[in-house]
Amino acid sequence: MEKILDVKDLQINFDTFAGQVKAIRNVSFHLNKGETLAIVGESGSGKSVTVRSIMGLLANNAHVDNGSIDFKGKDLLKASPRELESIRGNDISMIFQDPMTSLDPTMPIGKQVAEPLLIHGSMSKKKAMARAEEVLELVGITNAKNRMKDYPHQFSGGQRQRIVIAISIVNYPEVLIADEPTTALDVTIQAQIIDLMKELQNKIETSIIFITHDLGVVAGIADRVAVMYAGKIIEYGSVDEIFYNPQHPYTWGLLNSMPTLDTSSDRLYAIPGTPPNLLNPPAGDAFAPRNPYAMEIDYEQMPPFYKVTDTHYAATWLLDPNAPKVEPPAAIKKRQEEYHQLVAEGKIQSSVKGGAKDGE
């Protein structure tokens, strides 16, 4: 597949009164044309900082110390402010988490949706307002023509999120970044927004990076998944591989914390402990203190990526050929058994081609 965005060895640090926070530590991933890549992890894992660097929206105390972000042959980290302004909201757009902080309470929503078209000078005001109405209808705002003059407070939470999506897609961007777009919504509205995004992706032919801490949301929208922890990507693969055949103990913990129809206990599983302090990142696997399967080497050396399939890699010493064999939690083992059964029946495409545990 054709890559539209390629992030390599990204390293971002924040200067604070307490010292330098090493927020993003050599992160690499790519986005293929027309696909949805989900980046998943706990709060503070570095998801939002990573995607904000693509848009050039980092805080003043942040600085990129290494890496590149290639978009259609141009390194965005080396782009001038003027070049970034021409790309931001036009070629690459972003949906933010809280619609009420994204929308101007003093401006009618029609003008807000049309604004990106006017800023980038792609059409006249009359045509921009007509496109705004068309896009508001596209995202499901009923009676869009009459509601163009309404203000954000006159809409429900779900409608406001649809308006924010309309603003982000009005220029038909090639890449759409969705930063936790459903977090503030109830489950029913969440499902509607997910369905809307999938529908829009097909209609405007955009590629999506979807940021979330909720693996349940990922299952309904993603093609591939990257799992982040403590500023690093620790596992990535197709959505089926991550859900049915996870390999990193952190991914096991995330999946175990999701309620299912088989959940019988009144209390959901929670990963013990807290993420490390990135003022002084650990030398080894950052997840080791919270990992019940941690070995001595986990505290001493950072694991490389081990190949599970051609599309699935995980950075855990458990995949080393010399590591002891461990039994994953019962729920994870059940998922893996289901995965192998589905592969055998041809319902899931496996890309295993031997050498499954070679380091990358």
Q: What is the pLDDT of residues 122-162, one digit of tens each?
A: 689 999 999 999 999 999 999 999 999 999 999 998 899 89
Q: Which two tokens stand for residue 135?
A: 């896009």
CA distance 95 to 210: 10
Each residue of 25-48: b (16+ CB within 10 Å) or e?
bebbbbbbebbbbbbbbbebbbbb
356 falls in which pLDDT band (50, 70, 90)? very low
User: Would you say residue 344 has pLDDT above 90?
Assistant: no
pLDDT for position 142: 92
pLDDT for position 98: 76
pLDDT for position 11: 97
pLDDT for position 9: 97
Q: Tell me if 71 sits within 8 A of 87, measured CB to CB.
A: yes
pLDDT in tens, 279-306: 999 999 999 999 999 999 999 999 999 9
197: helix, strand or coil: helix
pLDDT for position 358: 35
Residue whose token pair is 């590591």: 323
Interhelix angle for 157-169 vs 187-204, to 10°? Answer: 20
- Amino acid occupying residue 292: P
Q: Which two tokens stand for residue 22?
A: 């090493």
Nearby residues of 127 by Cβ (< 8 Å), 6 or more positions away? 117
pLDDT for position 253: 93
The DSSP symbol for 41 reads -
pLDDT for position 331: 86
Percent of the chain beyond pLDDT 70?
94
**What does pTM read for this prediction?**
0.91
CA distance 133 to 146: 9
CA distance 145 to 148: 6
pLDDT in tens, 30-78: 999 999 999 999 988 999 999 999 999 999 999 999 999 999 889 999 9
- Domains of the chain (ranges; CATH) run 3-222 (3.40.50.300), 225-344 (3.40.50.300)
pLDDT for position 355: 37
Backbone angles phi, psi at 114, to 5 degrees: -75, -20
Q: Tell me if 281 sits within 8 A of 13, measured CB to CB.
A: no
263 falls in which pLDDT band (50, 70, 90)? low
Can you list the alpha helix ranges (DSSP code H) found in the chain?
47-55, 81-87, 99-102, 109-119, 125-138, 144-147, 157-169, 187-204, 215-218, 239-244, 249-256, 330-344
Q: Tell me if 37 sits within 8 A of 210, measured CB to CB.
A: yes
- DSSP secondary structure string for all residues of 271-340: --S-PPPTTS--SS-TTGGG-TT--GGGGTSPPPPEEEETTEEE--GGGSTTSPP-PPPHHHHHHHHHHH
Average pLDDT across the chain, whole number? 89
Mean pLDDT of 6-17: 97
121 falls in which pLDDT band (50, 70, 90)? confident
pLDDT in tens, 16-28: 999 999 999 999 9
CA distance 163 to 20: 38
User: Would you say residue 227 has pLDDT above 70?
Assistant: yes
Residue among 258, 237, 232, 257 nearest 247 (CA): 237
pLDDT for position 359: 36
CA distance 358 to 360: 6
Percent of the chain beyond pLDDT 90?
66
pLDDT for position 132: 95
Mean pLDDT of 100-113: 92
- Whole-angstrom distance between the N-terminal and C-terminal Cα of the chain? 20
User: Would you say residue 10 has pLDDT above 60?
Assistant: yes
Window from 139-148, 207-216, 348-357 with minimum mean pLDDT: 348-357
